[in-house]
Amino acid sequence: MAPTPPPRRRTRHHRALRSRVDLHASNRHHRRRPRADALRPRHRRPCRLDRTSRCATERHTTCRRRSRRGGVTVAKRKIAKRTGSKRVTQGSLLTNNERSRIKSIGEPIALLLGRIGFSPDALTLVGFGIVLVATAQVAIGNWAIAAGILIAGTLFDGLDGTLARATNRVTAFGAFFDSSLDRAAEAAIYAGIVYSASVLGDTQMATAAVLALGIGSLVSYVRARGEGLGVSAHGGIAQRAERAILLIVGLLAAGLSGETNYLLYALIIIVALSAVTVLQRILFIRAALATTGRRA
């Protein structure tokens, strides 16, 4: 009978190799039989369109999930890829980063006013009052002073929303109230320009101001109608902030130089860019409705 060979010594290398083999077998076992909770869909909320238990987030605009990249949804990125309208989804003349920086500047001021005792709705009313003061200055022809007041009013305009988000007092009525007074403030400014132009006998400036007000209101109307259809079209090349900046630059240039043509040129640019914004939003809403399977 042959002698039994001595047992082989397990070195450190063999033990490490055995542990790797065991780990590989364990991972293979888990890949074959995943846990029960891993089979559950991540998005369990019922779909608003199909009424199913799981939503096709890439296909439905009303049930889409938010993406981590720039706050742009999956559906919006697909629409932008199809239509080439990247600016509509990610911003306009002012990028999202620039808007965030402007909001971060006003956050300490909003918190300070909140400690004093101002509510978000009160800040909305104060901002509207500042715009009315600027309107009076525009009507009497003090355009440079009106531009300075409008700068303060524009910076003050976003403080109500910042305070509401910081103090967790965001309400649907607050958003509606802020949007309504924004439209009223814009109408008041252009009405002051029309009055000042009529006093000066400048029919071209009065006509441009009326067109700027009308097409600017159409920008907001298209957005509201899109939201009624389940599509949120916030973008465009000239949103309210861009139009306000152009108007302030025109008022300041006309007031400092004494030439009314600068304000006329600014109004013409506002009219043209507002018309482009309306077209951008219409095309965006049409593409969004096409992705949801609804008849555009």
Q: Residues 111-142: pLDDT tens digits?
A: 888 888 888 889 999 999 999 999 999 999 89
Task: Please state the φ and ψ torsions of residue 95, each to the nearest 5 degrees.
Answer: -75, 170
Task: Please state the φ and ψ torsions of residue 34, each to the nearest 5 degrees.
Answer: -70, 160
The residues annotated with a catalytic role in the active site are: 182
CA 84-94-217 angle, to 5 degrees, is: 85
Considering only 28-37, 245-254, 255-264, which range has the smallest mean pLDDT?
28-37
**Among 268, 6, 255, 29, residue whose Cα is nearest residue 143:** 255
**Among 175, 176, 127, residue whose Cα is nearest residue 153:** 127
pLDDT by residue (tens digit) across 43-75?
A: 444 444 444 444 444 444 444 443 333 334 444
pLDDT by residue (tens digit) across 212-232?
A: 999 999 998 998 888 888 888
* Cβ proximity of 20 and 26 under 8 Å: no
Q: Which CATH superfamily is domain 74-291 in?
A: CDP-alcohol phosphotransferase transmembrane (TM) domain (1.20.120.1760)
Return the biggest CA–CA distance within the chain: 126
CA distance 116 to 110: 10
Tokens encoding 271: 């009219």
Domain boundaries, the chain: 74-291
Q: Is this model's pTM higher than 0.85 or not?
A: no
